[in-house]
Amino acid sequence: MNDSTLELFPTEELSLWHFESRARAAGRVAVAGVDEAGRGPLAGPVVAAAVILPEGYDLPGLTDSKKLSTKKREQLFPRIKQQALAVGLGIADAGLVDRMNILQATLRAMSLAVERLQTPADYLLIDGITQVPNGIPQLTLKQGDSRSASIAAASVIAKVVRDRMMLGYHRRYPDYGFDRHKGYGSLAHRRTIAVQGPCPIHRRSFSGVAEYVEGL
């Protein structure tokens, strides 16, 4: 299969199974969608998920997790986990983000997610424009979480896992409001950082946090 031909098709004419079907038609057996949650926040981890769905899988309402309510994501989450052929998770904490930079930490989390699949993937559909450096044949898709069922499933898994982690961090650091903004740079969050300084899960290399690190 010549991956460069896949993007020639108009997005509006493609089903959510188009890219999986083409990969399987070319002889791929275990096609995994890969996505992440948490590249932009000022605090917390990047969480990546890899998901291999059974052929012909149909889950009404499945789409990009950012377009779904928290309630809908929580409803889809157990159904995806129960019915997927394999699910893998990878996490890069704030310290790793600071040491590696956000792109490299995200790719590390994605690589870990793929490695942790119970069934090894032989083809990857990656949300975004950057390939995962693991040697597995793959295709990157801009807005892939709206174009591929496997990537959409991975986006739901990653988002729900990360949100649950941030709720746990809220119990540990209640002053920062992680239960509301999940670490993103809301005005209230930025004001709290300015007054109290960053806590251990803040990304100290990020603007909005770095200014308040000196002397800590």
Give yes or no for residue 2 having a pLDDT over 70. Answer: no
Q: Identify whether 8 is part of a domain.
A: yes
The DSSP code sequence of 85-110 is SEEEEEEE-HHHHHHH-HHHHHHHHH
Of residues 216 and 26, more confidently modeled: 26
Q: Closest by alpha carbon to 125, among 46, 38, 52, 48?
A: 52
Q: Closest by alpha carbon to 212, among 186, 181, 191, 182?
A: 191
pLDDT digits (tens, 9 = 90+) for 76-109: 999 999 999 999 999 999 999 999 999 999 999 9
Q: Identify whether 151 is part of a domain.
A: yes
Beta bridge partners of 91: 47
Of residues 134 and 57, more confidently modeled: 134
Ordered alpha helix ranges (H), the chain:
18-25, 70-83, 94-100, 102-115, 149-172, 178-181, 187-196
d(CA 157, CA 124): 16
Q: Identify whether 215 is part of a domain.
A: no
Give yes or no for residue 23 having a pLDDT over 50. Answer: yes
Does the pTM surpass 0.85? The reply is yes
Residue type, 179: D
Give yes or no for residue 6 having a pLDDT over 80. Answer: no
Q: Provide the percentage of residues in the chain whose pLDDT is more than 90.
A: 86
Q: Identify whether 212 is part of a domain.
A: no
Q: Identify whether 127 is part of a domain.
A: yes
Q: Closest by alpha carbon to 56, among 29, 17, 19?
A: 17
Mean pLDDT of the chain: 92
d(CA 30, CA 124): 9
Domains in the chain: how many in total?
A: 1
Specify the CATH number for the domain of residue 90. 3.30.420.10
Q: Identify whether 204 is part of a domain.
A: no
Give yes or no for residue 150 having a pLDDT over 50. Answer: yes
Give yes or no for residue 155 having a pLDDT over 80. Answer: yes
Three-state DSSP class for residue 67: helix
Q: Identify whether 188 is part of a domain.
A: no
List the domain range (segments joined by +) for residue 91.
3-173
Q: Identify whether 214 is part of a domain.
A: no
Give yes or no for residue 1 having a pLDDT over 90. Answer: no
Give yes or no for residue 169 having a pLDDT over 50. Answer: yes
Looking at residue 210, its pLDDT comes to 97
Find the mean pLDDT for residues 133-156: 96
Q: Closest by alpha carbon to 107, among 86, 117, 122, 92?
A: 92
Looking at residue 56, its pLDDT comes to 81
Give yes or no for residue 181 having a pLDDT over 80. Answer: yes
